[in-house]
Every structure is written in C-alpha cells, then in structure tokens.
Amino acid sequence: MTRIRRDRSREPVVLLAASSGGHLHEMRLLARRIVPRGYRAEWLVPWCPQSDEIGADETVHIVHDTPPRAWWAMVRDIGPCGVAIRAVNPIAVVSTGAGLAVAALGSARALGVEAHYIESAARTLGPSLTGRMVTGLPGVGRYTQWASWSSPRWLRTGSVFDGFVAEPEHGVGRIERVVVTLGTQPTFEFRRLVVRLLEILPPSAQVLWQTGCTDVAGLGIEATPNLAPAALRRAMEQADVVVAHAGIGSAVGVLQAGRLPVLVPRRREFGEHIDDHQATIGRALGALGLAVVREVEGLGLDDLLAATQRRVRDYGGPPLVLKGRLGTLLEEQRRLGSASCTQRARP
C-alpha cells in the first residue's frame, strides 16, 4: 500500500527503507546526509506514529512491519517492496534495517537498482543478524557507523552522532521537570529503572513517564505507555533532565531535543532485552561525551544534576561515504564542504 503525501516534482529519487523504532529514527536523522541536492527522498516504511510524522511533502510507501527475527515477515514484504521500487524507479535504495532491509535491498538488486545497507549505530562491536543476512545479497554496499569494526567488507561511513556537541550550560543545576522514556519496545519491561528513579528523584519534581510495555502497577505514578513523537520531543525540550533506556532511538531523540541524556542500559540477565548491546551503546556515547551513563543500581541524584549542566547542539554532519553512483554524488558535495545534502530530508 502506498500513501502519497504530495508529489512535489519530477526530481530523481533515493528510496529510504527502515523498520519502526530506532531504525526509522536513525534513517530520519541520516536522510539529510544521504539525499543529494536536486534529488528527493521517498520512504518505504511500516505504518507507525513515526512514519505518520514524516514531512507533509514527502511520499511514503507503507509496507508490513517486520517483527524481530520473523523470517516469514521478511518473505511477506518482498512483493510490496518490489511493487514500490518499480513504481519509484529510484537511483538507489538505502536501509538502516532491521528485517525490512532484507526484503527491500533484495528486491532492489533483483530489479537492478543500487542498494546500500547502513548498520545501526546500536551495533558497536559487529554486524547484527540482519547485517549478516545482508552479506548474502550480492551487490549490496555494507557500512558500519563505527571505525572499530570497519573492514573491506564493512566500509566506515558517517554516524548519527556526527555533529552533536555537548556544551556547558551555566546557571542550571535544578531538577523541576523530568522526562523518563523507556522506548516503545513491545515485549521487554524495565521496571527496575522506574523503581530506582522513584528512590532518587526529588519529591517536588514533575515527571513525565513514557513507559512502553513496562508494568508500573503499584508504584503510584501516572504513566503514558506511548506518547506521540512530537509530544515527547516537546516535553524533552522543556525538561531539566531526560532519563532513558540506552536504545539508539531514545538516545538520538534526547540529543535532538538539546538535552544530555542520562542513559541506563537494559540487561539481558533481568529479561530486559535479548542481549546487552545497550551497555555497549552507553559506553560509546559516554566516551564521546554525549551521555551520562549508569547502571540501574549505580544511578544517583548527582548523575541527574550533572546532566542538567550541559546542553547539546547539532552542528550537522557531512554527506555519508557510500559506494556507487549515489556515493559519487555525495562525494561531490563533500568536496564542496556541504554539511547537509538537502533540507527536505531533515527530520
């Protein structure tokens, strides 16, 4: 199914494919560095609150959502992806994953269209299962956002964190308004973090709890399982401090709101995720100076106060390093010193 917002022009197209959640959040941030000037972005995504907020002048092709590690869903999406690619005839298809990447990029190569896979910034040590599957698709360019595991098979490209800088904020140090966001993960709870925050937050603080599927019964708080992305961002912009699980989508969202996030990783041993990749995300962002990172049991009021004393600015990033025709176009803009390819693709 295709939902057309408005057909702007006859400009050539780069088709951007991403599953819901952090993958789509990353793509929306990277899009401005993927789509060259004179080209436009079209989107191949499942319906979700995030896709519904893609710019009003963008063309959005809606496909089925692909649950984690659902092989049947990847196969199901091959047909709709092929239909969309034929209709758009893009110069390239670019995906940040997850499962949708296999169907979208496989369909692109079968139709002779240039294809690129950018591994999620969440993968700081090596490729994900989707990334390993994509290696079996001939002719697909593969990229990592981290130099630590780049190789001839995985080219280092730009990162979603390029351009973000944490700067001192004077005259702050109070905690009156707090946002706590546990993401929209549908199957894993994070009640431990909620309990810990109730122990350390000032009683007078006004707290917005975005809890996803976490059961907060008996904790005496008013929680909102899922908040519209625009509303959540406004709340974060107005908050003194934002505490989040260490997911890429949540971390990037806090940075975009101009706040230094306090990130607390979910842990596999407590059934809070399928692995401990959030801990590696936290360490990487902490090393970049873009987060205060603590385990649940080590989180204290001083950590929250430290985060209030810095603000984050987004100075943009250069066009991404990619292969093929799209890479050549981006390299031309990089030589011109452009920090952003196209304003239309800005999230």
Q: Cβ(143)–Cβ(118) under 8 Å?
A: yes
Statement: residue 256 has pLDDT above 50: yes
Statement: residue 306 has pLDDT above 60: yes
pLDDT in tens, 45-93: 998 777 777 876 789 998 887 766 666 667 788 899 999 999 999 999 9
Statement: residue 9 has pLDDT above 90: no
Per-residue pLDDT at 5:
47
Question: Where are the alpha helices (H) located in the chain, listed in sequence order?
Answer: 22-30, 49-52, 71-76, 78-88, 100-110, 129-134, 191-200, 229-238, 248-256, 277-287, 301-308, 324-335
Counting beta carbons within 10 angstroms of the beta carbon of residue 201, is it exposed (0 to 12), middle (13 to 18) or buried (19 or more)? middle
Which residues, at least 6 apart from 84, have a Cβ–Cβ distance to it below 8 Å?
A: 2, 15, 44, 61, 63
**Nearest alpha-carbon partner for 26 in 255, 334, 311, 266:** 255
String of DSSP letters for 161-200: TTTEEEEE-TT----SEEEEE----SS---HHHHHHHHHH
Provide the percentage of residues in the chain whose pLDDT is more than 70. Answer: 91
pLDDT in tens, 222-231: 999 989 888 9
Which residues, at least 6 apart from 42, have a Cβ–Cβ distance to it below 8 Å?
A: 13, 14, 15, 16, 58, 59, 60, 61, 88, 90
- 3-state secondary structure labels for all residues of 190-206: CHHHHHHHHHHCCCCCE
Mean pLDDT across the chain, nearest whole number?
90
Per-residue pLDDT at 99:
87
**Nearest alpha-carbon partner for 116 in 129, 132, 97:** 97
Q: Which residues pair with 41 in a beta bridge?
A: 14
pLDDT in tens, 119-146: 999 899 999 999 999 999 999 999 999 9
Tell me which CATH code domain 2-159+316-345 carries.
3.40.50.2000
> Which of 19-23, 74-78, 216-220, 276-280 is predicted with the least confidence, judged by mean pLDDT?
74-78
- Compute the distance between CA of residue 205 and CA of residue 34 in angstroms, rounded to an integer: 41
pTM more than 0.75:
yes
pLDDT range class, residue 323, cuts 50, 70, 90: very high
- 3-state secondary structure labels for all residues of 127-150: CCHHHHHHCCCCCEEEEECCHHHC
Q: Cis omega before residue 98 (within 30°)? A: yes
Parallel, antiparallel, or unpaired: how do β-strands 206-210 and 13-17 relate?
unpaired
Per-residue pLDDT at 343:
46
Statement: residue 344 has pLDDT above 60: no
Please tell me if the domain spanning 2-159+316-345 has the same topology as the one spanning 165-313: yes
Per-residue pLDDT at 249:
87
Tokens for 60? Answer: 């959005």
Average pLDDT over residues 197-205: 96
- Compute the distance between CA of residue 58 and CA of residue 250 in angstroms, rounded to an integer: 24
Tell me which CATH code domain 165-313 carries.
3.40.50.2000
For the chain, which residues make up each domain, given as ranges? 2-159+316-345, 165-313
CA 32-53-288 angle, to 5 degrees, is 50
Statement: residue 346 has pLDDT above 70: no
Statement: residue 8 has pLDDT above 60: no
Instruction: Indicate the SS3 state at residue 227.
Output: coil
Average pLDDT over residues 309-336: 93
